[in-house]
Chain A
Amino acid sequence: DTGVSQDPRHKITKRGQNVTFRCDPISEHNRLYWYRQTLGQGPEFLTYFQNEAQLEKSRLLSDRFSAERPKGSFSTLEIQRTEQGDSAMYLCASSPWGRNTEAFFGQGTRLTVV
């Protein structure tokens, strides 16, 4: 296993369009997190899953955002009707909750809304 994988690495979209990102976590990790990072800020929590259950959502996750983790494996993050303020790096991380708490991050998806 080579780590957390995110696809695509970069996405440019027009305002109003929908976008979907995919994250493949480290295979034995049962927790999966989505974060967003903008310039000059640390990663900001969006949501996380324990296996297939979405356990927490941040207030940053507006109604236009939805995340899924079917079968507790990969996850998708969809943004509907994108706005320029959605431009950011979207980071996925996974961790083997219960053994240790270190979360391992993917390389991120850079979203630019024009």
Chain B
Amino acid sequence: DQQVKQNSPSLSVQEGRISILNCDYTNSMFDYFLWYKKYPAEGPTFLISISSIKDKNEDGRFTVFLNKSAKHLSLHIVPSQPGDSAVYFCAALNYGGSQGNLIFGKGTKLSVKP
């Protein structure tokens, strides 16, 4: 049973517009969420994270929103750039319970067209 779900395998956006990537989770014990970006033949690169005590975290062009009641988070990229084209993974963690491992979604492939 997938605990972290990214239901959109791909997303195509025009350069300069907003990209919104979505993620849903089922385990209410998750209390920390992360987004990773991955280029082909490379390891995932950490992008941004959010604790469950917050509902928003912003870092430059990247903002993550968390809706705990809906068990949903989203990553907003504004403005989108061609270099943002990559696979984006949502990951969750039970930090308070000392669970060590990140649980990843299957990823969403973002294509930003010039």
* A interface residues, Cβ below 8 angstroms from B: 4, 6, 31, 33, 35, 40-45, 48, 50, 55-56, 58, 91, 93, 97, 101-108, 110
User: What 1/0 flags go to B91-114 for Cβ under 8 Å of A?
Assistant: 101010000111111110000000
**B34 / chain A contacts, CB cutoff of 8 Å:** 101-103
**When A and B form their complex, which 10 residue pairs have the shortest distance between CB atoms, in order from nearest?**
A42-B104, A105-B43, A45-B101, A48-B100, A102-B46, A107-B43, A105-B44, A43-B104, A108-B43, A42-B106
Q: In whole angstroms, what is the CA distance A6 to B36 when docked?
A: 19
Q: In whole angstroms, what is the CA distance A48 to B101 when docked?
A: 7
B interface residues, tally (CB under 8 Å): 24
Q: In whole angstroms, what is the CA distance A107 to B106 when docked?
A: 18
Assuming A42-B107, A101-B93, is B100 touching A55 (CB within 8 A)? yes
Q: In whole angstroms, what is the CA distance A81 to B100 when docked?
A: 28
User: Quick one: closest A residue to B36, CB to CB?
Assistant: A105
Of A6, A45, A50, A56, which is within 8 A of B103 by CB? A45
A57 to chain B, nearest CB (A): 10
User: Quick one: closest B residue to A47, CB to CB?
Assistant: B101
Of residues A41, A45, A56, A102, which shows the largest number of chain B Cβ atoms within 10 Å of its Cβ? A102
Assuming A4-B43, A42-B89, A108-B42, is B100 touching A33 (CB within 8 A)? yes
A61 to chain B, nearest CB (A): 12
Q: In whole angstroms, what is the CA distance A113 to B93 when docked?
A: 32
A101 to chain B, nearest CB (A): 5
